[in-house]
Structure 1
Amino acid sequence: MLAGIGGGATIGLAGCTSSSDGGDDDGPEISGETITLTTTTSTYDTGLIDELNAPFEDRYGVTVDTVSQGTGAALETGRSGDSDVVMVHARSLEDEFIEEGYGVNRRDVMFNDFVVVGTSDDPAGIGGGDDVEAAFATIAEEGATFVSRGDDSGTHAKELELWDAAGVDEFGEWYQEAGQGMSEVIMQVGQTGDYTLADRGSFLSMQSEIDLEIHVEGPIEGGPELLANPYGIVAVNPGAHDDVEYDLSMAYIGYLTGPEGREIIEEYTLEGEQLFFPEAISEEPNFQQYVPEDWAPSEADD
């Protein structure tokens, strides 16, 4: 386990606990426990995860040890039992994690979108278009420098999906794999590149530090649904790793997908811009969030 995990510790979640000075009921309390959350660079670098964690830690008297990784690495940490709960943004990779027996009780949390960003001179002339496949095809045809995350992150998975949709399967010197997080890639484009694919939250959080523009918008601003960017959270399966802090992880998932988590996500802004949009609470039930998207009951279950 990563540092801070106390394997096998007992978690007591009391409905009526007293404050340390013998005063009135302060609500539920879990003392002296830590969970490790592996999450994407976008939720970490934007500051959202710190904003979400602080009230949870205060309420229960616990610590959320946050490890910022690309989606693939975050899920791999969960596979090895070195994290207790994972929040990422690549549904196909999340589904594999669940199907392999490493994750349980997945929930939708929030969404933002992806955008194609680049230098203001826009050498491939893609600015203002709403066809992201055509934009990617044009970047390849023109040989404009594209900086890829190249790190098995959710953004990288979406980028590969877009190249495939654009019919691009040959990459030359114009294609640069950084193997870095979103912030580093955005900075690299500002220095030596022309374009990249970014999540809107990360781009907005860095906008004052860089001289880049959005050339193709995602669905939040009327762009194609292909650029939608949903985030999910899943507990590491205690059946696969019996030393994970499962009870506390489920308390965290409940908090994040409940009214308080929703309000924090909805109200979190930078430079007056909302970065993420909560979707955990809805009048319309969405049972597909709990299971892989292609799951269907077998004939034996009917």
Structure 2
Amino acid sequence: MGFHRRGVLSLCLALCLAAPAVAEPTETITVASTTSTEQSGLFKHLLPLFAQAKGIGVKVVALGTGQALDVGRRGDADVVFVHDKAAEEAFLADGFALKRQDVMYNDFVVVGPRDDPAKAGGKDVLEALRRIAAAKASFISRGDRSGTHAAELRTWKAAGVDLGAVKGEWYKEIGQGMGPALNTASASNAYLLSDRGTWLSFKNRGDLAILVAGDQRLFNQYGVMLVNPQKHPGVKAAAGQAFVDWLVSKPGQEAIASYQIGGEQLFFPNAAPDSKGQ
């Protein structure tokens, strides 16, 4: 072997030894979560940090909250990470989880045509929906049993609008996630309720703008639960609990807070102070 060849091999060996080893995940868990956590880009930010910290991979099944909880009920996920507290508490009461923990929050916003033909703009979401219904202005509903869909239906009810009585061509249920709903609203210049995180990550806005924000009724809380291994023995309880514990720990909460788009924070951590700190 010539000197040059030996030198090249020695250099390659030295570089390989100097390069930090990237450990393969020792285990992979399944997390059933919302389209908003996936389509906002939050998971792309969080999961590599979790894998680096704990050596555990995560497969995300992104669905509306109702469907994500159904996945958990069937035992086809190890963890559920969703945003419909009433539905989460029912899941817990039915024994499909043993504990629910707050993780983070953001808020919902009403977006719509920049020229606002229904004159819905402002800080009062109930008045905004009344004006949209009165004007029969085009409104896109996810219609998918998601946390956002549940929040939308609660807000129509609080506004005193009976959708069964007033529904018409102006109100369209598409049965899809937040991204497709925003695309549909953009294409048809329609109003809709969106979580702020997905809106901030959404590029195809067309003539849409945020018209209603800041109403306390638009608060959007996210929670996490390990699927009960006593109901579903196949649940990867130790690895799933490690993910839950990391999300509510100081490093996980800091990772959530650090996720920004265009200098704007998308989610705000609010795990209980007595959550695990490791």
| TM-score category, normalised to shorter length | 0.7 to 0.9
C-alpha RMSD over aligned residues: 1.9
The offset of 1:208, in angstroms, is 6.1
Aligned to 2:107: 113
SS at 2:230 equivalent: coil
The offset of 1:211, in angstroms, is 2.8
Aligned equivalents of 1:202 and 1:31: distance in 2?
28
Aligned: 1:188 with 2:181:
no
Q: What one-letter code is carried by the residue in structure 1 that aligns with 2:193?
A: L
Structure 2 vs 1, CA of residues 214 and 262 (structure 1 numbering), >3 Å: closer, same or farther?
Answer: same
The offset of 1:172, in angstroms, is 1.6
1:36-51 mapped onto 2 (5 Å cutoff): 36-51=30-45
Whether contact under 8 Å (1:37, 1:87) holds in the other structure is yes
Whether contact under 8 Å (1:123, 1:194) holds in the other structure is no
Whether contact under 8 Å (1:122, 1:194) holds in the other structure is no
Aligned: 1:215 with 2:211:
yes
Q: How many equivalent pairs are there?
A: 252
The offset of 1:34, in angstroms, is 1.4
Aligned equivalents of 2:168 and 2:206: distance in 1?
26
1:116-147 superposed Cα distances (whole Å, 9 cap, x missing partner): 000112110111x2211111111111100110
Aligned equivalents of 1:281 and 1:119: distance in 2?
39
Whether contact under 8 Å (2:183, 2:204) holds in the other structure is no
Q: What one-letter code is carried by the residue in structure 2 that aligns with 1:228?
A: F
Aligned equivalents of 1:62 and 1:53: distance in 2?
9
SS at 2:233 equivalent: coil
Aligned to 2:258: 267
Aligned equivalents of 2:24 and 2:250: distance in 1?
20
Q: Which runs of 5+ in 1 are unaligned?
A: 1-20, 218-222, 287-302
**Match among 139, 145, 149 for residue 156 of structure 1:** 149
Q: What one-letter code is carried by the residue in structure 1 that aligns with 2:221?
A: P
Residue identity over aligned pairs, in percent, reads: 46
Aligned: 1:144 with 2:137:
yes
Whether contact under 8 Å (1:187, 1:210) holds in the other structure is no
Q: What one-letter code is carried by the residue in structure 2 that aligns with 1:265?
A: I
Q: What one-letter code is carried by the residue in structure 2 that aligns with 1:280?
A: A
Aligned to 1:83: 77
Whether contact under 8 Å (2:25, 2:57) holds in the other structure is no
SS at 1:104 equivalent: coil
Structure with greater helix percent: 2
Q: What one-letter code is carried by the residue in structure 2 that aligns with 1:225?
A: Q
Aligned: 1:93 with 2:97:
no
1:187-216 superposed Cα distances (whole Å, 9 cap, x missing partner): 111111420000001111115653311110
Whether contact under 8 Å (2:189, 2:208) holds in the other structure is no
1:173-252 mapped onto 2 (5 Å cutoff): 173-207=169-203, 209-217=205-213, 223-252=214-243
The offset of 1:92, in angstroms, is 0.6
Q: Which runs of 5+ in 2 are unaligned?
A: 1-16
